[in-house]
Amino acid sequence: MPRIAPLSITFIALVLAWPQAATGQGLGYPQERDDPYADQFDDAYGDPYDPAFDRPTRALPRRNVYRGVDENAPEFDRSGRAAPQRRARVASLPADADPAYSTPLDYDDLVDPGVSTSALVDDPTGQPAGTITIDTSARKLYLSTGKGQAIEYGVGVGRQGFAWKGRAAIGRKAFWPGWTPPKEMLLRRPDLPAHMDGGLDNPLGARALYLFNGDRDTLFRIHGTNEPDTIGQAVSSGCIRMLNADVIDLYRRVSKGTRVVVR
């Protein structure tokens, strides 16, 4: 029987392994499935006052995904080996998102929809259906449903001396909003950037609802946060903070013109 040289054996093994290596199979990396919500973006979601509406959300949990605060952090397979990095996807903005204030990149896959404070409760506000009421002392936001109930979310509010109360309406909506600090804030905090594009490190978080009095921007917003541990506290400069999963949920339930009561 002829002997096969060790070099020949190595060559044969490489040839047999090539189809798997070329497709990434057999290397321990998870195979990505198509995103079943890739073509859905804030169009028809059903009854916005149904607590179960849009469940599961667009930000589906994905197997073996690293959910840190850095969108460029690596993912890992079960062996601990770093898998190829996932980047934010270019997004078609929702029809009601102001493009001048939005970032056309989709970071929703890195927001865990299970990290949420939303709950259906008896409505303590007495407001008509569709009204947002923010109770700054209780650190709660309520969306009245008109059925004697409301959807309740935990929020963070402004520090003493910066807290704002009054009536307004949503005048602008933004998807992964960019942030331009007002001049007054830049005077207090000269270390802040003049502008920051939307993303996981942006203090406005995943969505922003801008509060207007008539045509005038009040400079106060309901928005997400890059500091989830501040929910339930009074630490921001007057604006209303929500968990990113919560503000994504609220964004889909309300439209421009929605009445907002801050008390």
Which is the catalytic residue, given 143, 151, 168, 239?
239
Reported as a single tens digit per residue, the pLDDT across 18-47 is 444 333 332 222 222 333 222 322 333 345
Reported as a single tens digit per residue, the pLDDT across 85-126 is 456 678 889 999 999 999 999 999 999 999 999 999 999 999
Q: What is the largest CA-CA distance in the chain?
A: 93
The whole-chain average pLDDT of the chain stands at 75
| 195 in active site | no
Which is the catalytic residue, given 223, 245, 248, 251?
223
Angle at 174 between CA 124 and CA 137, to 5 degrees: 30
| 131 in active site | no
In residues, how long is the chain? 263
DSSP string covering 89-128? EE-PPPTTS-TTT--SEE-GGGS-TTS---EEEE--S-PP
The contacts of residue 62 (CB under 8 Å, 6+ apart) are 109
